[in-house]
Structure 1
């Protein structure tokens, strides 16, 4: 539309503009937008840092306290057990004792199986359920989370480690790299907690986590076909194509029917036990003790029949005794230092994401607050200590935590009880596992990881957000058809892509007035909403930054052009006012202000006026500091859209 002079305007339009220019005096109830008091740069910067890193204000507890009291509070902050331990009683011990014994019966057979996922000897899984839970019990803030090795992290760690060192031909170096990765996983977790950077794990979206976990569950289950079918030569790759080729290639000579019978029988038993526990919550203990019962019965059966002589693969020897020191086995120099650091960061972040998600879930169910940063420090500390005591990466286990919760745990003492049972197992019972068939461990792992396939969540994601579903499926297929690390990379990449897309392409909508109200809403959502003659009202649903400012300006101008072309076809008056509703605009930078200035100049060429409605205090402060308010005139900034319309189109505001 070309530039219109006052001479080219008709009499009615000139009168309308004259009336509008004096409307602030005619409508005294139209409120002005205030400019917040100016803050010093340091105060503004410190406030931003405090909100980003110290939103929960942890130093508030120490305010106006004596030195001795500050020391006590500091110790309680690091070791929460010193706080809640003072009110501990026999009633709580009863609940923790039952829960601890129950999760111990579940964790022992799981740990032996999970260690195989990490390509480690069975005792390392038990080691990782002895020391880390003890450390966490003293430092963690969750009452319900159960600590130990988990399937996804075990598989991820095993996959990444074997890409660097062959676990069979170079077992000593492989173990050293595993301890090194565990050490740096703990360091990563602790640093994130100390620096209060826990928000970084939120960049992995829920949809991506659902897809990643589901894909990892299928990959883990496929890996168990080696033990389930009794295959001796099995691929080291984790993708579904390689695994199925390995399974089918060994069908004629590599399968052992006795192993299949054992695995199938007890897998059916475990699934039935899980079904019973799901149907009747009071029978939660049935699926919890089913794995241990399976191990005992299958071990006894193999022992009395000597099935190991007929091709049934067994666990064989498990080292007796508690965790040996591994401080001198960690790579602090050499070529494997950087590799251990890289693997540790990846494994540590995944372990942290799973643990925090589990902790938050059960904290919400019991209605108590969980300090995410304390959790990270506790998880980091336990993995650092664990790396020095022959453990690999441990975290919160959802299956054990669910059993812990249903068993009536009261505090983290249930982890101590579980740890004590594992200690007794390491000291006295490990020789009894010698004849445990590998098929039963595979069955236990398959039954455990089935719960990670959350198809209901995937369906809900599809119904709610199609882009989220793409992220979910991308992570899922990446894990299943490529590898765990590829799936993880896809999950992170799609999560970031979605974030960047939302930041760079925010939504803008045209608003209309709901009849018989002063409310203005999206005309697509509310078809009855009426457009204001001569006025275009646009809402920007995002902060305006350098990344999206040019897009927002161009999108608003496209709205304006489309609207003017439509009005021209209908022979109606052109747009005289553009009202930008800015209540969703939480912040604006210099690029955003520059885009608004360009928008203002473009409107001037169209003989239209830019009007702002309801800018927030941060936005208003920056607009005022940049003199933008002087450019468009402070009389063109209003508290609400209704006030702006009342001034720009008083006849419409009164009639509609």
Structure 2
């Protein structure tokens, strides 16, 4: 089927059939892509550095908020960074490297003022698992820091590439319950792996599945050491300060600011107290033979950047990491984008997911040179920045200064930090990542299927691994999306007359709703089916290849079950019937009598209000449905569509032979006042005079339906005259179909 291009879109008086409204062609599409390439490239390059937009407007009013937030986060990220580094199987300084690079470089590329990039619990435990995995398969080839920095540069390149290509929208395919599910399972797993360290229990691997760690911990309780005094007291102290500050805020609201900062600095305060207690207790108790102390402490933490070097990135290391790269990349994307979007909604600004991927990519790629391991957005530190009143991403620079001061000036004090205290810090931090009961119940209320995905992600993470939990939640979410696309809601519609107002001022309109009761609409409302011979069908999804067979089956089955068969099959021999046409063994006279009692199908109205896309397979399914229906009815059946507002849906349906032809409708077409196109500039002039009648098939003519005579003045048909089966709304489509039925019956 070919398409018509015309001379003008602008003024035309109804009654001149020589000109019609244009149907979109590939020429129009090519012209719509025109633009200034130089400006596009310039805009793209500027968008890569959002700091250019806000830094020139920086002022002292913003500085105070950024200083407070930056210093506060810096005092929290130092103990957290060292704790998470141990969780990753690395020495504490690597956590400080990741903290410094993350907060410093993020501010140049950030579209979120609240997010704090650095080491996080879930990524840290995954890095630890990756190191063990690679070293078990390739013993003695690479050290833990080399594997961690290699993973950072690989995942950094991947996320950077995704950001530069502006495909950050891919993360939108993973819903919030899936993210919450693996985060909750991961937080529970991390907490269980830290309990042995909290109590000083050793003798088994803490990298097993969470349930095995719990079992082994219970078996080893009798072997708890003196470390438990520091670990348990630290954990209790953290929660006492937290809940005490919350109580104090409610008791003395006018001192809420003081209680807030006392609460957010509780980690630093507890670690200082535990470190002093460790020094007082252990300073003269080192075993001269083994060099050990009564409790486990960090010992020497190198000052400064001692591990700056080019990251090792060889094909052999890439091969060894290959099966772990996808899950590491997914964690970087999901956790960061989820946090950035959450705080953007909370504080009234919008992030750019693609730009955030660039920020993650640059941070991890550059960080690998400093010896950092993969880092992403931290929920707890981002929440802390937000509550401290951060004004711009420049707060990250302040945090970086705090970290580098600690890295060069406080490493001697880090020597006495108890590892049990760091385990308490991790448990306290990850507890906030678990979904609350109210949140879980909300998932159940909103979408039971998504609740099941959440529960599956949690259980698989706990009883298998974090990696399997992530894959399970992602795959289940995509499968649910495909199922919903392949099986959308679809209904046959009837009409109700809705009235607004009372008495003579009442206004009425026709509304089309499902004929079947659905538990939402009032069951006592009388829904009037369309005129006999007309059916109205609505599908609440784009019409694409996964669901097109559903539409085909629904229409054909409805016609065959409720409408008259055009051909009398009474005298057709069984040998002449199709193999799949099951006829009853009796004479068939009764069947024909029942068939004649059914109405004759004349028209099908398709409500395309929810259809935003259509493809070749779905158009072919409509063609097949029309062919089968007309074969059953033994006469042509009209297919009306409303509303058709997308030029590509219009183009596709016309290509399939729909919309054009002679309609039996007797109703006049919908008209609207003429609005000149761009102050009189014609469509042809705007598109460099697209020629009608060229060799392009898309520019050839369709047989035009005659324009109805009109005395309406400067009026134009809203829908092209050469597509009489396309309508501007469902009401006009139904009226046209029903009027066509009456006209057909009058001819009989």
Which TM-score tier does this pair reach, normalised by the shorter chain?
A: 0.7 to 0.9
| Equivalent runs, 1:238-257 vs 2, <5 Å | 238-252=208-222, 254-256=223-225
The range that moved more, 230-239 or 631-640, is 631-640
CA contact (8 A) 1:603 1:609 kept: no
Partner of residue 39 from structure 2, selected from 62, 65, 68: 62
Q: Distance in 2 between matches of 1:645 and 1:652?
A: 11
Q: Distance in 1 between matches of 2:239 and 2:560?
A: 63
Partner of residue 498 from structure 1, selected from 455, 475, 480: 480
Partner of residue 308 from structure 2, selected from 325, 329, 334: 325
Paired positions, count: 599
Q: Distance in 1 between matches of 2:227 and 2:190?
A: 19
CA contact (8 A) 1:582 1:616 kept: no
1:588-607 deviation per Cα after TM superposition (whole angstroms, max 9, x unaligned): 11211111111112221343
CA contact (8 A) 2:193 2:210 kept: no
1:603-653 deviation per Cα after TM superposition (whole angstroms, max 9, x unaligned): 213435433222332211111133333479644333322122223335999
Match of 1:108 in 2: 78
Q: Secondary structure at the match of 2:510?
A: coil
Q: Distance in 2 between matches of 1:269 and 1:171?
A: 43
Partner of residue 55 from structure 2, selected from 85, 96, 112: 85
Q: Distance in 2 between matches of 1:588 and 1:77?
A: 33
Partner of residue 96 from structure 1, selected from 62, 66, 69: 66
Q: Secondary structure at the match of 1:127?
A: helix
Larger Cα-atom Rg: 2
Q: Does 1:647 align with 2:736?
A: yes
Q: Distance in 1 between matches of 2:185 and 2:357?
A: 26
CA contact (8 A) 2:344 2:350 kept: yes
CA contact (8 A) 2:620 2:656 kept: no
Distance 1:62 1:272, change over 3 A: farther
Match of 1:270 in 2: 238
The range that moved more, 113-122 or 630-639, is 630-639
Unaligned runs of 5+ in 1: 1-27, 51-56
Distance 1:199 1:323, change over 3 A: farther
Partner of residue 429 from structure 1, selected from 410, 414, 418: 410
CA shift at 1:276, angstroms?
4.9
1:390-423 deviation per Cα after TM superposition (whole angstroms, max 9, x unaligned): 0011111111111111111111221111111111
- Cα-Cα RMSD: 3.1
Partner of residue 466 from structure 2, selected from 473, 476, 484: 484
Distance 1:537 1:414, change over 3 A: same
CA shift at 1:296, angstroms?
0.8
Unaligned runs of 5+ in 2: 1-14, 250-255, 287-291, 499-508, 565-593, 664-722, 743-748
Partner of residue 295 from structure 1, selected from 255, 260, 271: 271
Q: Distance in 2 between matches of 1:610 and 1:347?
A: 51
Q: Secondary structure at the match of 2:537?
A: strand
| Equivalent runs, 1:174-573 vs 2, <5 Å | 174-252=144-222, 254-256=223-225, 258-276=226-244, 280=249, 282=257, 283-306=259-282, 311-322=294-305, 324-327=307-310, 329-333=311-315, 335-340=316-321, 342-455=323-436, 456-516=438-498, 517-523=509-515, 524=518, 525-526=520-521, 527=523, 528=525, 529-534=527-532, 535-561=534-560, 573=599
1:36-94 deviation per Cα after TM superposition (whole angstroms, max 9, x unaligned): 432328628x85xx9xxxxxx9x89937x9xxxx5xx7775343334322222222221
Per the normalisation by structure 1, the TM-score is: 0.84
CA shift at 1:499, angstroms?
1.6
1:299-328 deviation per Cα after TM superposition (whole angstroms, max 9, x unaligned): 11122122887853222222222252131x
CA contact (8 A) 2:495 2:512 kept: yes
Match of 2:588 in 1: none
Q: Distance in 2 between matches of 1:271 and 1:364?
A: 29
